Chain A
């Protein structure tokens, strides 16, 4: 077996991505529970653990999304701090990994490394960090350093940050210490850290990365254990795997060194037809008439509430050149006028109303698996066979019961096919993902 040839594991794993902020989570249905009560988190984490999920994920957004200059009113919003919630969940779970999305631009390496290490120790070696690099002055307005980082430098900065964190985690030779001091002189600031904590049961937190640019992929290939990707569709997933394998080898790591777990959504039923009907219902609650108008308003930069969601796209032009970051990373930087022209033409061509058009646009990035339990299980078994992905990071569209049918029906189907774990391999996340113990990061010569 050579390090340069990718070997499919023949298995897939699941993670749960409790999004907390989005239009994907339905709040209008009577079954929709609280987005902030601890009971919602406990329910879903314990259900995931019953289904042998590898990981429980929390996302992060460090400023409330805005719409036309005010907080966005239509979608689920307001979520707890990831690591605080995960520390609490550590007390009521035993095996599931606890993944905190944490930003490298608006944290300090010493503080973040210490907190992640704390979570890792408190949970008995189940912590992970989903590294994100979202940067803009608008988010920076909540922090002491403000908007100090150029977008072009985000991964340079992130990599220095992650390398520093690894050195902090690797600084204790033995649990009794003493720790090596860690110095980092960066373009933006200099830190001198006296680490405080020993290794955890899994040596150090597992590193996930979310970000899709070429720089982001290279960064992940060099530094991460797992990529939280945006490529769930089969052909796209295979292509993304090929790309990451190539980048990992180029970075001097093995072809299997970096695992891939795409974001995904499952809409299931006893039959395909039942699942399709459910999907229509789910979509109608995710993208209602107000969301359809608001979606366009993002790109037009003006109020469009006088337009009929079931009528044609607005004839008036956008008042902005470029869309801003205020609605989260997915909307940032589109050329507004150009898009408006294109979209009007496209909608006219296909005879689509505003609502139909927006539904088709949001379906373009559709990460949904829809079908009967058996059909979806067969489809996922194919991913496992070729090694298109290592697992899926599932966003439930309902909180807190959104995993129930996956755990009760889909997981047993997958287990029957021999492509999904029937037991946790161990107690640490690293063991459960089948990751190797990391090599101790080297001390740079100047320290």
Chain B
């Protein structure tokens, strides 16, 4: 290997570290493959260099989107501009051939530490004091203080947390007692002992499915500062399969499962805000629960349903109604989990009337004020949702 190549390899490794520091999941094997890829492509083509690194060092759509920017920051803009120009030329045959490219343009034209990244206020906020890892920083940040720029990072972090979290319905089968699908392997096994006569017939049946998850999120005025985070959290739950249902409520209830499944965070937020007439208005938890129980209770609530309520408990509605609906919910569902963004404060006491009324019917009461605390929520959920 020439010294130039060595430098390039070193820089690629450093770039992988740079990405890791920004929340990317870069594996050792991916770095190795990235270096192997560079041996396969012609380094003359800046575009190929970019594409090879991107395909090896990203693994999700979010990383894919952020990669371009981070690549530019680390390697300097020259490489990408060259590629764009070349792409233009390909589309317009009138311009001349691409100028020759020298290898040193690949090397970073500026030191790649965090200080070079503060080209805008946005970036500064992003990375304030977190040259090491923005994700770990985001985890500690109070969710109420999240700004829009944090959402992609929060989403990235949430997805990482969700990775080991399985709420997929099981389709594995077990030995069953009632007539159903024949269990041929078992029949055959028995049959061989009796010279091929199947004296005993075995059936298999599906193992029990995992529980259904229903999320009811408060998007009223008092929750407003959390709402921007509540949504990415709900969207982070996208991976939990077809048995999750998501509703938002303030003065009334809206089902948003469809939007959450189909749109990106920002768009889902906009559409939900659009479709929920009183987004950021007052809260009537009792009435919203009443609507839920009436309309969806029959087919969504069962002993296999876990209900998660995300709210600070500020309620403008009547106490009796709330009590009645909470009682109904806790009677019908397997577990009611209440996540309260205020409860993270050690001095917090459930003083507001709504919270006080609802608390006796809640199986688990947990804070949801930072990604760290949400991690606990996820642990609890995976326990509750399991078999």
Do A and B originate from a single complex? no
Which residues of A does B touch, CB under 8 Å? none
Which residues of B does A touch, CB under 8 Å? none
